[in-house]
């Protein structure tokens, strides 16, 4: 059974953990695995759930620009070059994964490979198996901090 809160986020009655708490915990676990402070992260849940992690690395192609790790519930993880507002995203690589929210260690290995220039990931977006929002909340519930 699902219950919607005022922000439109779904709670999974079986887990008792709202999507925002699970996503916050997952994002913190990914940040820890990648080796960046939680303060360098943010997320938003609206019509789609998205997340951002600022990386302490520069782009080889654009050395004046920092790299970022971005996530969406429809595409999963990607490493991209930070762009100015209004500029199109400059994605370097997408993580090929069966699940939209793979284990934090998988994400950390992907980031390390991309930063090392070892051609990890895919140049084109990867569309993981579609996960309904209630299933995503249940999957991420294990990362929620109590």
Q: What are 62-110's pLDDT values in tens digits? A: 778 889 999 999 889 999 998 888 887 788 999 988 888 999 999 999 9
Per-domain residue ranges of the chain: 2-140
Report pLDDT digits (tens) over 13-23. 434 789 999 99
The pLDDT value given to residue 90: 87
Please report, for residues 17, 24, 34, 80, 123, the alpha-carbon distance to residue 145 in angstroms, rounded to integers and kept in the order given.
Answer: 10, 9, 19, 28, 34
Mean local confidence (pLDDT), 133-139: 89
Token code pair at residue 37: 């402070």
Of 94, 61, 92, the C-alpha closest to 75 is: 94
- pLDDT at residue 3 greater than cutoff 50: no
The pLDDT value given to residue 124: 67
Report pLDDT digits (tens) over 30-51. 999 999 998 999 999 999 999 9
Higher pLDDT, 145 or 81: 81
Neighbouring-strand partners of residue 33 = none
Mean local confidence (pLDDT), 50-58: 92
One DSSP character per residue, 84-143 reads -TTSPPEEEEE---SSSS--HHHHHHHHHHHHTTS--SBSS---PPP--HHHHHHHHGGG
Query: Quick count: other Cβ atoms within 10 Å of Cβ 53?
Result: 24
Query: Quick count: other Cβ atoms within 10 Å of Cβ 94?
Result: 23
């Amino acid at each position: 059974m699902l219950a919607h809160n005022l922000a439109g986020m779904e709670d999974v009655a079986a887990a008792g953990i709202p999507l925002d708490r699970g996503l916050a915990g997952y994002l913190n676990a990914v940040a820890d695995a990648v080796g960046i402070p939680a303060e360098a992260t943010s997320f938003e849940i609206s019509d789609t759930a998205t997340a951002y992690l600022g990386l302490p690395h520069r782009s080889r192609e654009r050395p004046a620009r920092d790299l970022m790790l971005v996530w969406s519930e429809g595409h999963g993880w990607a490493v991209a070059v930070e762009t100015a507002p209004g500029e199109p995203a400059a994605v370097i690589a997408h993580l090929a994964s069966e699940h939209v929210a793979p284990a934090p260690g998988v994400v950390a290995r992907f980031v390390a490979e991309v930063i090392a220039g070892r051609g990890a990931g895919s140049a084109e977006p990867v569309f993981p198996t579609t996960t309904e929002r209630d299933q995503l909340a249940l999957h991420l519930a294990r990362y929620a901090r109590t």
